[in-house]
Amino acid sequence: MEYITRKTMLYKTGVEYGDYTMNHVLGCTHGCKYPCYAFMLKKRFGQIKSYDEWIEPKIVSNTLELLDKEIPRLKNKIQSVQLCFATDPFMYGVE
């Protein structure tokens, strides 16, 4: 499993059923062949280059450190945090 780091973990979202989201993984092992929204979004914005790269997920190694900083700063603004808008939290073969 490869790892990446991020500068922030909690992102403001514009969906009507949540106000913040976090994605602690980039990619998905499912390898769905239908147009996956997350895959197309990450490819469009240059975060991944190919389908083969997408199906080899990368874990965000500094997730807990970022949350330790961001939660206290945002605690009065956050009503809910949605997990995994850009991946599937129930991937196959991942511990």
Q: Give the model confidence (pLDDT) of 7-49 as tens digits.
A: 999 999 888 888 999 999 999 888 787 878 889 989 999 999 9
DSSP-assigned letters across all residues of 46-90: TS---HHHHTS-EEETTHHHHHHHHHHHHTTT-S-EEE-TTS-SS
Position 69 scores a pLDDT of 97
DSSP-assigned letters across all residues of 16-33: TT-SEEE--EES-SS--S
Position 89 scores a pLDDT of 74
Residue boundaries of the structural domains of the chain? 2-83
d(Cα 38, Cα 87) in Å, to the nearest integer?
6
Position 65 scores a pLDDT of 98
72-86 mean pLDDT:
90
- Residues linked to residue 3 through DSSP beta bridges, in sequence order: 59
Q: What is the DSSP letter of 12?
A: E
Average pLDDT taken over every residue of the chain: 89
